[in-house]
Amino acid sequence: MKIIFKLALALIVVSLFTCSSDDDNINDNDVSVEGVWVLSALSVESSFDFNNDGIASRNLFEETPCYNDDFINFRTDGTVNVVTALTYISIEITSPTEYEHVYQCLDGLNQETTWTRNGNTITVENGTTDFVGVISGNILTVSIENLFEIEMYDGMDYSYPEEDVVLVYTKL
């Protein structure tokens, strides 16, 4: 009854993907990628209330403290350091037809790799698969398909739907 949070790989990929800006006056080619980008949002397709505050949210950054120290550091020499936490999520059955998700923050990844830029497109090397993103202003948005796998229970059967993840980083 585990929930597999493919976020480890996702967060590695995280440091790599898309971006959007709130400032239309910034020329994206003039924005420096180099520097530290901190995670400010981590959204999935469904809403959850992992912190049991009575408010379900798609933004897991609001639901757990696990990702508070996640960041990406793009260096001028073409290297990048991606630091991300992991979360172990499991189901606690409360009745024959009801359950709740519980989470545990785990040590995550601290990966070194390389990155390149072509205009406002950023490519981060990740083994056999490179991740490509677009930078816009001081916001870096990473979209990863089917990264978040969560265990669900309908009273009889378990299912493990996969959902897309959107990571938003803000440059310091």
Residues 121-151 pLDDT 10s: 787 787 766 676 778 889 888 887 888 888 7
Angle, CA of 9, 120 and 61, to the nearest 5°: 40
Nearest to 7 by CA among 115, 106, 100, 74: 106
Task: Report the SS3 class of residue 91.
Answer: strand
Task: Report the SS3 class of residue 63.
Answer: helix
Higher pLDDT, 79 or 91: 79
Domain interval for residue 120: 2-171
Q: Could you tell me the CA-to-CA distances from 159 to 39, 83, 113, 141, 146 in Å, in that order? A: 29, 30, 35, 29, 14
Least confident of 17-26, 34-43, 154-163: 17-26
Angle, CA of 128, 129 and 132, to the nearest 5°: 150
Angle, CA of 20, 111 and 168, to the nearest 5°: 20
Q: Could you tell me the CA-to-CA distances from 110 to 64, 84, 86, 97, 107 in Å, in that order? A: 20, 7, 11, 39, 9
Percent of the chain with pLDDT over 90: 23
pTM: 0.76
